[in-house]
Amino acid sequence: MSHKAIKYNSIDLFSGVGGLTAGMHNAGFKTKIAIELEEDAAKGYKMNFPDTEVIPKDIREIDVKEIKDHLRDGPLYLLAGCPPCQGFSRVRKLNRKANVRDKRNSLVEEYFRMVKELKPLTIMMENVPGLKDYYLFKEIVKKLEDLGYNPKVDIVNVKDYGVPQNRKRLIMVGSLLGNLEIAPGTGEKRTVRSEIEHLSTPEESDDPLQQIVANHTERIMERIRLTPKDGGSRKDLPDEYLLDCHSKKNIGFNDVYGRLRWDDYSTTITGGCLNPSKGRFLHPEQDRVITPREAALLQSFPEDYKFPTDISKGSLALLIGNALPPRFSYVQSKNIKEHLDQHLG
């Protein structure tokens, strides 16, 4: 049986709700194991990938033997993961020169530990751009070179890969089989309109994720109604509607309480994507914040992707905003699959 006829085994570390896995599966990988400590994320992951063994543990407490026991059949073709490194995100670093001290930053070392002990044929890691200059990450890249992976690291924008969102990410790939480059952009432009315009309104929809909309005070609703359609922002409002915290110069983000633009990319979908005070998350036309389904579509999740609805709106927003866009994952994973086909076929 040729390698091309089988699904390549993969592992998703720090899997979240499964954005990375969704792209890998579409590209022809079979994710045998996912590691995810956070309960809501693991639950959402399992709803979409019931055949994957989810290990709900802190990766720092996982013995590699436990993973090898689950793998059993054949080599590990791809080890992929997005270690949480919140101390390097642009939002966390606002008004600070130094990286925020966050114990999660050391999780990149756990990614390397897994690579070293499992010896996958190829590797992929995605993260926030700020990680590139972190000394620990630089050390790990050097160690991966010593192991023979010839890692490639770059900062790209997912909007260049058919994702309707302006979101810069760090990507690293490597291979023991030969030179593996990071997949270039596809040139496909998708917009807010192409992803969400066709949806029913929350009142008319039978999709539970499209029915969830934030409730606001009448004062906030008035501000939303006054915000010009298709890209208006708080700067367009009369002075009496400015919040006190926004009246000082250079304080706060300009995009808060802003509307998305139909024929442009969305702003970065973050863990605050269901709250208009956290960014430009108002619907282009309707007087409301975007719904979880709309946020998920702007992250390039399929329209039938499942998310738990029995959790808080804040937790749901984090699941969606923290995910790797599946379409971006697909382009990178397909590139790795073709590399494996070429060297193993």
How many Cα atoms are found within 13 Å in the side-chain-facing hemisphere of 15? Answer: 33
Is position 307 within any domain? no
- What is the per-residue pLDDT across 122-169, written as a single tens digit (0 to 9) for each? 999 999 999 999 999 999 999 999 999 999 999 999 999 999 999 999
Same domain, 143 and 114: yes
What residue type is 13 in one-letter code?
L
Mean pLDDT of 96-115: 70
Q: Whose structure tokens read 């720092």?
A: 60
**CA separation (Å) from 229 to 9, 24, 232, 233, 301?**
47, 37, 6, 9, 25
Whether residue 314 lies inside any domain: the answer is no
> Catalytic residues, which ones?
85
Confidence label for 87 from pLDDT (cuts 50, 70 and 90)? low
Cβ atoms of 124 and 171 closer than 8 Å = yes
Q: How many structural domains compose the chain?
A: 2
- Give per-residue pLDDT as tens, 166-189: 999 999 999 999 999 999 999 999
Whether residues 39 and 137 fall in one domain: yes
CA dihedral 269, 271, 272, 273 (to 10 degrees): 30
54 and 136 together in one domain: yes
CATH code where residue 82 lies = 3.40.50.150
Integer Cα distance of 343 and 345 in angstroms:
6
Q: Which of 88-97, 249-258, 307-316 has the highest mean pLDDT?
A: 307-316
Work out the percent of the chain whose per-residue pLDDT is above 90: 79
CATH classification at residue 263: 3.90.120.10
- pLDDT reading at 201 higher than 80: yes
Question: Residue 245 has what pLDDT?
Answer: 52
Quick one: 152 and 278 in the same domain?
Answer: no
* Statement to judge: residues 169 and 73 lie in one domain: yes
Answer yes or no: is 319 within a domain: no
Q: Strand, coil or helix: what is 151?
A: coil
Query: Is 126 found in the same domain as 112?
Result: yes
State which H helix or E strand residue 289 sits in: none
Model confidence at 70, in pLDDT bands (50, 70, 90)?
confident
The DSSP H or E segment spanning 57 is: none
- Do 68 and 92 share a domain, yes or no? yes
C-alpha–C-alpha distance, residues 236 and 153, integer Å: 40
Q: Domain check: are 59 and 147 in the same one?
A: yes
28 & 173 share domain = yes
Q: Is residue 254 included in any domain, yes or no?
A: yes
Give Dmax over CA atoms of the chain in angstroms.
71
Does 305 reside within a domain?
A: no
The average pLDDT across 235-242 equals: 70
Are 57 and 139 in a shared domain? yes
Beta-strand ranges (E) seen in 3-71 are 8-13, 29-35, 53-55
Q: State which residues form the domain around 57.
A: 3-189+324-344
Asked whether residue 183 falls in the same domain as residue 233, the answer is no
pTM above the 0.95 mark?
no
